[in-house]
Amino acid sequence: MTSKTTEEKTYLFDKPKNVKRVFIFFYSALVVLLIAEFFVHKHPHFPWEEWWGFYAVYGFVACVLLVLAAKYILRPLVKRPEDYYD
Amino acid sequence: MINPIPPAFVFIIGALVISFLKGNLRRGVMLLLPVLAFIDLIQLPAGDSWVFSFLGQDLVLARIDRLSLIFGYIFILIGLITTIYALHVEETLQNMAGLLYTGSALGVVFAGDLFTFFIFWELLTVFCVQLIWARRTKKAMGAGFRYLLFHVVGGLILLAGIVLRVHHTGSLDFSLIGLNGGPGSLLIFTGMGINCAWPFLHTWLSDSYPEATITGTIFLSAFTTKTAVYALARAFPGAEPLIWLGALMAGFPIFFAVIENDLRRVLAYSLINQVGFMVCGIGIGTQLAINGAVAHAFNDILFKGLLFMTMGAVMYRTGKINATDIGGLYRTMPLTCIFCIVGAASISAFPLFSGFVSKSMVMDAAGSEHLRLIWFILLFASAGVFHHAGIKIPYFAFFSHDSGLRPKEAPLHMLIAMGLTAFLCIFNGSFPHFLYSLLPYQPVGYEPYTFPHVLSQTQILFFSALAFALLLLSGIYPAEIRCVNLDADWFYRKGGRLFYRLLDVCFNNLNRVCDQWLAKGLTGAINRFCRHAPARISVWLLTPFSRLGASGGEDNPRRFDKSVQDAFDNGVIPIGLSAAVSGLFLMLLFLFNN
């Protein structure tokens, strides 16, 4: 996968084309996962598990909230210079 | 055939033996020890053996049942893997501490009485601290001391609990304790909880694990918390507070992990998060939940060990571990990168990887018991762990910005250790029935690979990844910053200093006042009194003679007083004068007495 140039090697993800491929694969996987849900017969513990896209939405929202809370609430509260305890 | 001994002693005796060996011979023996311990373990009969009578109680060194066996297997296995990983370490202290630490963990697991349990429990702390101090940095020294203090306190609480319990029940037996046994059982519960890294008692873990040596951290990640999980599973299955404690443990560390820069500290937080799932499972207490907790402990030892090993390899080659300093390492460390991704996929519970088959058991148990809020928290934690351990670790170490570092691939023995662990992660994930057959409650009767389960889990992971990708591309994702993030340890790290300052102000000022008033003032006064008193008293006593028997002018009495004082000051009191004073004094005493 790697090819040698005159000075330095270029590696797998140094080529934008490869990065793009990864993203295309990733986005199509998301679509496939959502479509596949139409063909699933579920036996859930809770009613909301039957809603279409529940897990997808929950996963997405949970992570966005996690990052926002960590960045805008937790970090300002707990961030100190590296030598704080020295 | 010699009789099998408690497996702990294979490691303890082995540690003593290797201290006399050097080079390849030592390495060979160290590799042989886990194998011997395993052979030894499968020879031990089920039930209690190695029972000794001590002060009218039975000490049981080898209690073999399904719960202790599976922990014994995984401890020996990770002992072997870590020994392979650490083959480059020549330092005798580290080699011995690693083996003794493994031995102590096995001792705890197979202890059948609380006394033996306590002894090995304390040894865990002693040898663990050696692995932290062996890094020999200032930070490691501090973290080691704090670790020691924390666990000594925990050990004392545990000991107090054991004493109360023995007093209460009259038995040392280590089995189901439950929360209804009075203060003794509550103290034991808390003592175990400290090793289990409960919320606010977790800081020793996130503080010290990232400061230990590269190889030491692999040992640490495997033993202390998992022996605590074992102990809780044996003594407090179904204890309701554990459900909430576990859910909290699964939830809160992920926020810290998102903003943490030191990648080994990120893993330490995710370790707490994973132990949260186990603790929650033990709290739920159904057969499925306990099986899930134990299976997850088994898998977690492997995938968390694997992640720590890959980060250790990065550290070994680059000397750096902060996300701000590394990045883009996939170019020259491709195998380590792949192993890291396997570990990340396992901890995130991707289908076909080990976390998938065990974490879902706890989730399913929470669902079966209709613990709605708990289920939501655990689901949040599942998404979050993928976010911080599953994506963040591999992404910031091996991809992200190109740090320009081009280190060599990890050394062969590390690659073998990581490869073996990665294989086991995939094996357990793809063929879960082998792991299930080892679980305490049989038959397991849980099938992870149903279409809805696979689909919902994949959805949650992929859409978490989408959130990560979008946040990163939009620049909202918190940039890695060199910093310290405060945690509950602030209270004793800064609080300790405040305490110190408070004592400094109180006691040093008290000291100063005492010095001023007592040492200098009062002694001075006494000194002056003692020096001048005899002269003054003499002058006073002699007043009648000096005044009445006055001969000459007005100055005479004063001159006489002065001569008495001078005589006392210079120590040249005429004997007659002294005798006269003494005689007068005696006379006065005599008069007053009558």
Contact call for A59 and B259, based on CB within 8 A? no
Q: What residue type is B530 in one-letter code?
A: C
Which pLDDT does position B305 carry in this prediction?
A: 96
Interface test with A, best of B485, B492, B500 (most A CBs within 10 A): B485
Confirm or reject contact between A36 and chain B (CB < 8 A).
yes
- How near does any CA of chain A get to the CA of B410, in Å? 18
Within 504-533 of B, beta carbons closer than 8 Å to A belong to none
Question: For residue A59, which residues of chain B lie inside 8 Å, CB to CB?
Answer: 383, 459-464, 467
Element (H, E) at B51: strand B47-54
| Chain A residue nearest residue B384, CA to CA | A63
Rounded Cα distance between B529 and B217, Å, is 69
Contact call for B375 and A78, based on CB within 8 A? no
Contact call for B462 and A66, based on CB within 8 A? no
Residue B405, token pair as written in the block:
């570092």
Rounded Cα distance between B34 and B454, Å, is 36
Q: Least CB-CB distance to B459: which of A33, A69, A71?
A: A33
Interval B164-180: pLDDT, tens:
999 988 888 898 898 88
Which among A77, A75, A55 has a CA at the least distance from the CA of A66? A75
Dihedral over alpha carbons B296, B302, B306, B308 (to 10 degrees): 70
Residue B571, token pair as written in the block:
């120590």
Rounded Cα distance between B591 and B594, Å, is 5
Confirm or reject contact between A51 and chain B (CB < 8 A).
no
Rounded Cα distance between B329 and B466, Å, is 23
Confirm or reject contact between A26 and chain B (CB < 8 A).
yes
Cβ contact B210:B262 at 8 Å: yes
Cβ contact B330:B398 at 8 Å: yes
Q: How far is CA B155 from CA B28, B192, B200, B361, in A?
A: 35, 9, 17, 32
End-to-end Cα spacing for chain A = 47
- How near does any CA of chain A get to the CA of B457, in Å? 8
Q: What is the 3-state secondary structure (H, E, C) of B267-297?
A: HHHHHHHHHHHHHHHHHHCCHHHHHHHHHHH
Confirm or reject contact between B546 and chain A (CB < 8 A).
no
Rounded Cα distance between B439 and B66, Å, is 7
Which pLDDT does position B574 carry in this prediction?
A: 64
Which among B146, B22, B15, B57 has a CA at the least distance from the CA of B490? B146
Which among B518, B556, B563, B514 has a CA at the least distance from the CA of B538? B563
Question: For residue B455, which residues of chain A lie inside 8 Å, CB to CB?
Answer: 33, 36-37, 40
Contact call for A80 and B487, based on CB within 8 A? no
Q: Least CB-CB distance to A70: which of B258, B455, B459?
A: B258
State which residues of chain B have pLDDT below 50.
none
Which among B233, B188, B271 has a CA at the least distance from the CA of B69? B233
The answer on A23 and A58 residing in a single domain is: no
Interval A14-68: pLDDT, tens:
778 888 888 899 889 888 888 888 888 777 888 888 888 899 999 999 999 998 9
With 0-12 / 13-18 / 19 or more C-beta atoms within 10 angstroms meaning exposed / middle / buried, residue B196 is buried
Q: What angle do CA B246, B249, B250 make, to 5 degrees?
A: 85
The answer on A36 and A49 residing in a single domain is: no
Rounded Cα distance between B408 and B329, Å, is 10
Rounded Cα distance between B103 and B97, Å, is 10
Contact call for B455 and A40, based on CB within 8 A? yes
Within 126-165 of B, beta carbons closer than 8 Å to A belong to 142
Cβ contact B157:B118 at 8 Å: no
Contact call for B485 and A79, based on CB within 8 A? yes
Confirm or reject contact between A19 and chain B (CB < 8 A).
no
The answer on A34 and A56 residing in a single domain is: no
Dihedral over alpha carbons B304, B310, B311, B313 (to 10 degrees): 140
- How near does any CA of chain B get to the CA of A71, in Å? 6
Q: Least CB-CB distance to B458: which of A12, A33, A71?
A: A33
Cβ contact B379:B302 at 8 Å: no
Residue B341, token pair as written in the block:
């991704």
The answer on A49 and A86 residing in a single domain is: yes
Q: What residue type is B107 in one-letter code?
A: G
Q: At what angle do helices B575-593 and B523-548 cross, to 10 degrees?
A: 90
Cβ contact B284:B307 at 8 Å: no
The answer on A86 and A51 residing in a single domain is: yes
Confirm or reject contact between B384 and chain A (CB < 8 A).
yes
Confirm or reject contact between B449 and chain A (CB < 8 A).
no
| Chain B residue nearest residue A41, CA to CA | B452
Q: At what angle do helices B92-110 and B216-235 cross, to 10 degrees?
A: 10
Contact call for A75 and B259, based on CB within 8 A? yes
Confirm or reject contact between A74 and chain B (CB < 8 A).
yes
Instruction: Indicate the pairing of strand B484-485 with strand A79-80.
Output: antiparallel
| Chain B residue nearest residue A29, CA to CA | B462
Question: Which structural domain, as residue segments, surrounds residue A83?
Answer: 44-86
Question: For residue B259, which residues of chain A lie inside 8 Å, CB to CB?
Answer: 70-71, 74-75, 78-79
Cβ contact B223:B271 at 8 Å: no
Q: How far is CA B36 from its chain centroid?
A: 29
Residue B487 backbone dihedrals phi, psi, to 5 degrees: -140, -170
Confirm or reject contact between A70 and chain B (CB < 8 A).
yes
- How near does any CA of chain B get to the CA of A77, in Å? 8
Question: For residue A43, which residues of chain B lie inside 8 Å, CB to CB?
Answer: 452
- How near does any CA of chain A get to the CA of B188, in Å? 32
Contact call for A78 and B486, based on CB within 8 A? yes
Residue B4 vs residue A4, higher pLDDT:
B4
Q: What is the 3-state secondary structure (H, E, C) of B128-188?
A: HHHHHHCCCCHHHHHHHHHHHHHHHHHHHHHHHHHHHHHHHHCCCECCCCCCCCCHHHHHH
The answer on A66 and A82 residing in a single domain is: yes
pTM of the model: 0.85
Interval B423-482: pLDDT, tens:
999 999 999 999 999 999 988 888 999 998 899 999 999 999 999 989 888 888 887 778
Residue whose structure tokens are 């939009």: B474
Contact call for A46 and B375, based on CB within 8 A? yes
Q: How far is CA B387 from CA A19, B255, B465, in A?
A: 20, 10, 7
The pLDDT confidence band at residue A9, using thresholds 50, 70 and 90, is confident
The answer on A48 and A23 residing in a single domain is: no
> Quick one: DSSP state of residue B488?
T
Give the count of Cβ contacts less than 8 A between chain A and B: 145
Q: What angle do CA B248, B70, B278 make, to 5 degrees?
A: 5
Question: For residue A78, which residues of chain B lie inside 8 Å, CB to CB?
Answer: 256, 259, 485-487
For chain A, the domain total comes to 2
A4 has a pLDDT exceeding 50: no
Cβ contact B386:B341 at 8 Å: no
Confirm or reject contact between B488 and chain A (CB < 8 A).
no
Question: For residue B485, which residues of chain A lie inside 8 Å, CB to CB?
Answer: 74-75, 78-80
